[in-house]
Structure 1
């Protein structure tokens, strides 16, 4: 086994490490963005219904973010994207209901 084989092995292991790190980073970012958006939406709904202040809104956002991060930790990126799609469709349905309701 020569120096060329060792260098090829080192380069391929570095490439696999970068690929793994990038996928892990995108998975974390996708979970974080999903959690922040759901936390914001549910916090604003709660603020309108109950009438609590800014600190309670931030608290609800952080709690929802933590729950979403924990629940989605074992899901694949495809499953998270399908979950996001379902959330967007439900939001559009609620928007349509609000616009049509008298």
Structure 2
């Protein structure tokens, strides 16, 4: 079981790299509240062995469907497949706007 689940991602203005992730504490049958966290902080936690992350999506039945373990590539990029590309490959996760757009 992972320590935290990555549910959504927010990309840089140019759309090239993930800048923020929406994480939730993995509580087994449930998940904690959603918290936006900078990608580089997640990368540091993984690199230092302080926390493990896994992707998650909401299934059609409303339950959380856990996916792949999140790892690092090149010390700063989040990946589920260490395929030696510098693009973040969590592209199948839904996106969110961060910072939130206010009107």
Interval containing the TM-score (normalised by the shorter chain):
under 0.3
The structure with more radius of gyration: 1
Structure with more of its chain in helix, by fraction: 1
Given the two structures, how large is their TM-score scaled by the length of structure 1?
A: 0.25
Q: Could you say which structure has the higher strand fraction?
A: 2
